[in-house]
């Protein structure tokens, strides 16, 4: 599509890419591996894209892979405000599925009025992709409503193990909140069998009807994208859309 627009003499081409494919392959985890996130950026640039607009990149440094403006938008306010409207914030704990996303948990806490934070210590087997071994819960979750946050749900192995760990640690209720619903392989079956009360995602990826279940809530990312597109094409300010607090 970008190539066709370029050959049709488009003045400027902005790619609105809510889900950036191959984002997790942003470095060489082992020898003889590609850095596919960089390759995707190079392909867009070569095709003729002038600007990229993405939602919740797996890692922020991917913005530097593209030689041009990258608008990195955040679904965090959308997800956090929805969750905050459903639960008692005084008994809420934001749970990062690993130590690397604690900063995101802190931003959730700021939006929701300073609620508690916990994280789950986990390890990964480099030979088993997209799976993690869940360790212990770091933080007090006993009798609390926990919100497990992540950028995506792929096979759902990590988040469902986190739910089990939180319930065993005494959590009263657990909600999962994630931006991208990849839902590959056994994900749907795992989520249906999990003791989670609600799974909240956005529609950055289409979710087939057969992949929907009773406690799945899908929020629309369209208003955020519309506002960003309007600011870009009217040469307005998009800075407020990047900090996750707008």
Question: Containing domain of residue 183, as a range?
Answer: 76-220
Q: What is the pLDDT of residue 121?
A: 83
Is 246 part of a structural domain of the chain?
A: no
Does residue 221 surpass a pLDDT of 90? Answer: yes
Q: Tell me the average pLDDT across 98-109.
A: 90
pLDDT digits (tens, 9 = 90+) for 167-207: 999 999 999 999 999 999 999 999 999 999 999 999 999 99
Per-residue pLDDT at 245: 47
Contacts 24+ apart (CB under 8 A), 133-139: 133/161, 134/158, 134/161, 134/162, 134/164, 134/165, 135/165, 136/165, 136/169, 137/95, 137/165, 137/166, 137/169, 139/93, 139/95
Domain count along the chain: 2
Judgement on whether residues 115 and 103 belong to the same structural domain of the protein: yes
Q: Is 172 a catalytic residue?
A: no
Shared-domain flag, residues 68 and 130: no
Instruction: Point out the catalytic residue in the list 45, 122, 193, 230.
Output: 122
Q: Same structural domain for residues 131 and 187?
A: yes
pLDDT band at 77 (very low <50, low <70, confident <90, very high): very high
Question: Can you tell me the mean pLDDT for 139-161?
Answer: 94
Report H helices in the chain: 2-7, 36-47, 76-86, 102-111, 157-168, 187-193, 222-233
Contacts of 153 (CB under 8 A, 6+ apart): 159, 176, 178, 180, 181, 182, 183, 187, 191, 199, 201
């Amino acid at each position: 599509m970008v190539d066709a627009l370029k050959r049709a003499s488009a003045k400027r081409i902005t790619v609105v890419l809510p889900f950036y494919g191959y984002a997790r392959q942003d470095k060489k985890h082992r020898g003889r591996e590609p850095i596919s996130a960089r390759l995707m950026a190079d392909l867009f640039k070569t095709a003729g894209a002038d600007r990229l607009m993405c939602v919740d990149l797996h890692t922020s440094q991917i913005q530097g892979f593209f030689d041009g403006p990258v608008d990195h938008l955040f679904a965090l306010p959308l997800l956090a405000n929805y969750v905050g409207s459903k639960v008692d914030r005084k008994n809420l704990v934001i749970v990062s599925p690993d130590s690397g996303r604690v900063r995101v948990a802190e931003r959730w806490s700021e939006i929701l009025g300073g609620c508690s934070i916990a994280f789950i210590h986990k390890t990964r087997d480099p030979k088993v992709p997209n799976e993690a071994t869940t360790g212990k819960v770091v933080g007090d979750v006993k009798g609390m409503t926990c919100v497990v946050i992540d950028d995506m749900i792929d096979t759902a192995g990590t988040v469902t193990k986190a739910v089990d760990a939180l319930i065993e640690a005494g959590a009263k209720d657990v909600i999962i909140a994630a931006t991208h619903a990849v839902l590959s392989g056994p994900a749907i079956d795992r989520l249906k069998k999990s003791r989670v009360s609600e799974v909240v995602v956005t529609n950055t990826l289409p979710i087939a009807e057969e992949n929907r279940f009773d406690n799945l809530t899908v929020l629309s990312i369209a208003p955020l994208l519309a506002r960003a597109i309007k600011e870009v094409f009217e040469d307005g300010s998009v800075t407020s859309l990047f900090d996750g607090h707008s």
